Amino acid sequence: MLKTRQCLLGIRTFLGLASRIWGFILYILRKHLRTIIQYQTVRYDTLPLSPASRNRLNGVKRKILVLDLDETVIHYRKCRGHKHPVRFFVHKRPHVDFFLEVVSQWYELVVFTASMEIYGSAVADKLDNNRGILKRRYYRQHCTLDLGSYIKDLSVVHSDLSSIVILDNSPGAYRSHPDNAIPIKSWFSDPSDTALLNLLPMLDALRFTSDVRSVLSRNLHQHRLW
């Protein structure tokens, strides 16, 4: 009887250990899958502009692309530990590095987040990666608090709203300027997400307009998510 109990205890111990090992293996596989998809080779061909397109672009103002952080280009996970009361693990949306590399050639990039500066600044630094493309940044203190939600007033970025585009997953954040917004679906963990890549053709074309609101006011803010 004692041998039977010891045998059962040994089996339980083995199964518990095997379960933990298998869970760790799955974690590593998921992590590597996210890395592979994030850094897989992607292309968006930027062909030389025709003389007519070059003249058109020279005749309009350089546009500003305002980027939200949380659930738009990154997602963070909060963890608690013994030595560190709160730790944040930040995951990049698939293709965000390639996206920033391309659009930084077309637009002046600005970060505008409702997060606290101590967090938002650290995330922006990681996204910038010493490239100097995310120099202008706005945080929670630059937002307007209204009925418990933070609204991003784009006039603090530039007084000329005809040249500003905001990319944000939260319609409430840009409700003061819906005609300047490009909605995007919230991202949390889907490694197959291509929303940022899907926006490149439109952002490429939008930089040629004299007033971005003439295009974005038509239908993009009517709950159309990329």
Determine whether 70 is an active site residue: yes
Which residue out of 45, 70, 128, 211 is catalytically annotated? 70
HEC readout, the chain: CHHHHHHHHHHHHHHHHHHHHHHHHHHHHHHHHHHHHHCCCCCCCCCCCCHHHHHHHHCCCCCEEEECCECCCEEEEEECCCCCCCEEEEEECCCHHHHHHHHCCCCEEEEECCCCHHHHHHHHHHHHCCCCCCCEEECHHHCEEECCEEECCHHHCCCCHHHEEEEECCHHHHCCCHHHEEECCCCCCCCCCCHHHHHHHHHHHHCCCCCCHHHHHHHCCCCCCC
Q: Clarify whether 160 is annotated catalytic.
A: no
The catalytic position among 45, 68, 193, 211 is 68
Task: Enumerate the active-site residues.
Answer: 68, 70
